[in-house]
Chains A and B, each alone.
Chain A
């Protein structure tokens, strides 16, 4: 072996696995031998031993065992299934090979190994059927690894494996049966398997519901002690949520099967918890329990399903429990925030529940309605931001389509009510927040207040009558004028965004409010100043946009009663002082803003920092509705004589005024126009979506191709490495041939990769011009490309080194031969005469070589030694 060492000694290099080449070679050899033994041994004990050894190697030599042994292991699982010991070894071996995570000391380049080996297994559905049959085996050593193995497979290739399991006869039922295993470890791992199995697959979710899945999970959660239980409860709840999330059929089943009643104990917390504090596991368990309620009442569900769930939640007492939790002491703030948001969704749009919530009185001193307690938390800057966001969400849900409580709040601000002297009301709290010096308080209270008038014309009118006396000696000021004053005096951008949003919601659809606003002589000039100002950062741009929006709303709902600012004169003013371009540009700033897009998508505020508090979800919805209508009105002055737009009324569903001056044909033509523009917009969007889709699929295909190419190359490299190790020892000629073969393969791959790269580049440049959304894709592709180029380079290097070595070896052999000849030894020219001859020859060469190399460092000394 000295020769071998001598040649390789200086070249010790690390492979992708972080192990030395030599190490890997011996590993690959051993694996190959073992695989051979597993396949060809006639004695079961030998096969079993081979399997045991493979299992032992499967962690350290995962790639080798997977690449060379996979088929053999699967075959022997099938043929030797009666031998439970062998089966257990084989399963554990596959378990290691398919691990979705990197095993210890593994290089990150192997991260997709598990996935690739999973693909090999899943290619034959029969393999999974066989694994399912092993689940019926009661033997612990078989059942446990097979559960874990299938979990691995599901984690690596969820879609493919789910589809196979779904159609294998009784597949899902067999997995469900595992839940009744009396051994806790098995049951717990079965839960994890089910979690992976049910992810995003409605058909499987339904079968599990049919197989009494909810009962089983509930029973486990109960046995484990509800939220006080360990991680098993969390896993069970995860499964629970998988079954319910966006699966209306299962939600119906859950409701019809009176399961909602069965989750009441989830929310009954013993009083003793207050002083003990909550362990992290309990916080997490309880969070998932709340998610169940939120899944059932999510605003994104069909409304009739949500409504019927909300009713049941109220009837069986969950809403009451949740309100108790909101008012209880010692609840961790993150749990509290989630509970408050849950209460919100449990009452949203369900008048009965909203009324109940409005009537809940907190056990404070003096007793106050829970709404007031929540508002006190909302406008308290010392409360955690996440909690305040949840409170705002809950309050929005409370006022959503709830005219009665909207009225109650506004009424408390009007002078007529006499008994408000010593009780703190919601309205007073909100106005207090508006006047507060803290910006976050301004923001939260103006958004909350806007929800008390949202879509409610009567309250918008009533709010016009609200007056304050700011100082003892000055006269009363209307809320409208106060807000305008604060806007003009204020310097804080966040407050401006809040107040401008509030104004636009107030003015929307309410001509009297517009009249009062325009009646203030400072209003329009102030808006113009804001719109024409030069912005320096994003937030200023948003203020400009919001000011433009308020301007647009004033134009849109202009009652033509303020002589200075009739619709016509306003359009003139905009043309002369602002310019159509500037105004539409300013509006565009909002719809382009990340914050706007985020708020539009998510009803619940997810602010990480108080400076993120800019847009309210419902404002964004309103903005989206009016943006195009405002622009349309500005661009089409011919129709500007039309009083308040009937089309907008139609869309706002406010059932407000219908214009008298308009002939029906006018109305119809307006409708038609609106419909036409919308049609056009839809058409262009469709086209855009189509083109994006097609370019996306092209890019995806390329990515796939490249990945498979890389995979092939990787596998070939692995194989080459492994085979090189063995072939090198047997015959130089062979290796030469192999190397030449590899060289051509590599050249071909190289060329292919080059082509791929070219295509990629072409694609990139094509995509670059198309859309910014694809930038992400491009960067992905670039990365992919870089990895590929690196791969090729590395291979080239390997190749070069290999060739160098070979050349070196060749020349050396020649030299040796000559030397030998010169010494007079008979040298056989044919290498293939037999193993014995080879051995002899090698031994001789070794002697010589050691003579040669004993002299010192090999390559440098070689010349003069000759």
Chain B
């Protein structure tokens, strides 16, 4: 399948906050209550549509355990977007956000779009972190914020798609250098790299234009 853009995402956050489940819900539309511990990094992909354009999301789901931290750092640099996930029923996962954010800012490119996600919103009775707290943290650090539930699929699509929208807007504004693949953005095979903002380039509609 051809695409106009390919965006690379990473999912980060403490162990057990539901990173792999968010990915599974997004790519396979299913929920797995018992999930194996992620070892290193796992991979998933899905196509979405923004502004009439096909966009391929390549998502790298990282292990939250401290032991893998040095490995997962290698994935920051090449990502265009990051989902920073905490668990609303576990205060400590919220408290660790600063560390995660510092780590991400230090190793990623400065334009990386970070989406803060409070997961497990279905477990309202066990909530330890108020939604407002998440909102405040996001505002203070210039992040987008959302509460999701990988179990009920609430807001999961939106979380991934809104991040993509943000990246897409940044491209339109010319903030991202799309010719540098280290930014985590690739132009689809049928799309000329010289005219990224031309609205005519629907999927497959520009035959013969240069290939990158």
Contacts and interface: CB of A to CB of B under 8 A. Distances in A.
Given A212-B181, A257-B58, A170 B42 contact: no
Interface stretch (B66-74, B84-92, B93-101, B127-135): B66-74
Interface in A201-224: 202-203, 206-207, 209-212, 215
Given A173-B74, A212-B78, A257-B58, A202 B45 contact: no
Given A210-B60, A210-B78, A212-B78, A169 B107 contact: yes
A379 to B, nearest CB: 45
Top 8 closest A-B pairs, CB basis? Answer: A167-B70, A256-B45, A207-B74, A253-B43, A203-B40, A203-B71, A206-B41, A249-B43
Given A170-B73, A210-B41, 12 more contacts: A169-B107, A170-B77, A206-B41, A206-B43, A209-B43, A210-B8, A212-B181, A249-B41, A252-B43, A253-B43, A256-B44, A258-B1
Contacts of B42: 249
B43 A170 contact: no
A346 interface: no
A169 B44 CA distance: 25
Contact of A207 (B1, B8, B75, B181): B75
Given A203-B40, A252-B43, A210 B71 contact: no
A166 interface: yes
A166 B43 contact: no
Interface in B20-73: 40-45, 58, 60, 70-71, 73
B170 to A, nearest CB: 20
Nearest to A262: B189
Interface in B164-190: 181, 186
Nearest to A205: B40
Contacts of A169: 73, 107
A172 B43 contact: no
A258 B186 CA distance: 14
Contacts of B58: 253, 256-257
Interface string A147-172: 00000000000000000001101111
A178 to B, nearest CB: 14
A539 to B, nearest CB: 48
Contacts of A256: 43-45, 58
A529 to B, nearest CB: 57
A257 B45 contact: yes
B40 A206 contact: yes
25 contacts: A166-B71, A167-B70, A169-B73, A170-B73, A170-B77, A171-B74, A173-B74, A202-B40, A203-B71, A206-B40, A206-B41, A207-B41, A207-B74, A207-B75, A209-B43, A210-B60, A210-B74, A210-B75, A212-B78, A249-B42, A249-B43, A252-B43, A253-B45, A257-B58, A258-B1
A382 B74 CA distance: 55
Contact of B74 (A172, A215, A258): A172
A252 B45 CA distance: 10
B40 A170 contact: no
Contacts of B40: 202-203, 206
B70 A166 contact: yes
Main secondary structure of the interface of A (DSSP, over half): helix
Nearest to B71: A203
Interface in A625-671: none
A209 to B, nearest CB: 8
Contacts of A171: 74
Nearest to B77: A173
Contacts of A253: 43, 45, 58
B211 to A, nearest CB: 11
Given A202-B40, A212-B78, A167 B60 contact: no
A258 B189 CA distance: 11
A170 B107 contact: yes
Contacts of B44: 256
Nearest to B73: A169
A215 B182 CA distance: 13
Nearest to B189: A258
Nearest to A168: B70
Contacts of A257: 45, 58
A256 B43 CA distance: 10
Contacts of A167: 70-71
Nearest to B46: A256
Contacts of A173: 74, 77-78
Contacts of A211: 78
Contacts of B43: 206, 209, 249-250, 252-253, 256
A170 B78 CA distance: 11
A14 B12 CA distance: 62
Interface in A227-273: 249-250, 252-253, 256-258
A215 B211 CA distance: 13
Interface string A175-202: 0000000000000000000000000001
B45 to A, nearest CB: 4
A257 B46 CA distance: 10
Contacts of A215: 181
A256 B1 CA distance: 10
A73 B15 CA distance: 43
B168 to A, nearest CB: 20
A494 B58 CA distance: 55
Nearest to B75: A210
A452 B44 CA distance: 40
Nearest to A256: B45
Nearest to A209: B43
B74 A170 contact: yes
B145 to A, nearest CB: 26
Contacts of B181: 212, 215
Contacts of B45: 253, 256-257
A721 B88 CA distance: 69
Contacts of B1: 258
Contacts of B71: 166-167, 203, 207
Contacts of B74: 166, 170-173, 207, 210
Contacts of A210: 8, 41, 60, 74-75, 78
Contacts of A209: 43
A170 B106 CA distance: 11
Nearest to B43: A253
B40 to A, nearest CB: 5
Contacts of B8: 210
A311 to B, nearest CB: 15
A443 B74 CA distance: 54
A354 B138 CA distance: 55
Contacts of B77: 170, 173
Contacts of B73: 169-170
A209 B45 CA distance: 14
Interface string A36-75: 0000000000000000000000000000000000000000
Interface string A6-33: 0000000000000000000000000000
Contacts of A203: 40-41, 71
A194 to B, nearest CB: 14
Nearest to A251: B43
B102 to A, nearest CB: 14
Contacts of A207: 41, 71, 74-75
A530 B181 CA distance: 70
A209 B75 CA distance: 10
A205 to B, nearest CB: 10
Contacts of A258: 1
Contacts of A202: 40
Contacts of B186: 212
A215 to B, nearest CB: 8
A829 B58 CA distance: 85
Nearest to B76: A170
Interface string B140-166: 000000000000000000000000000
A256 B78 CA distance: 18
A166 B60 CA distance: 17
A240 B186 CA distance: 21
B13 to A, nearest CB: 18
A206 B61 CA distance: 12
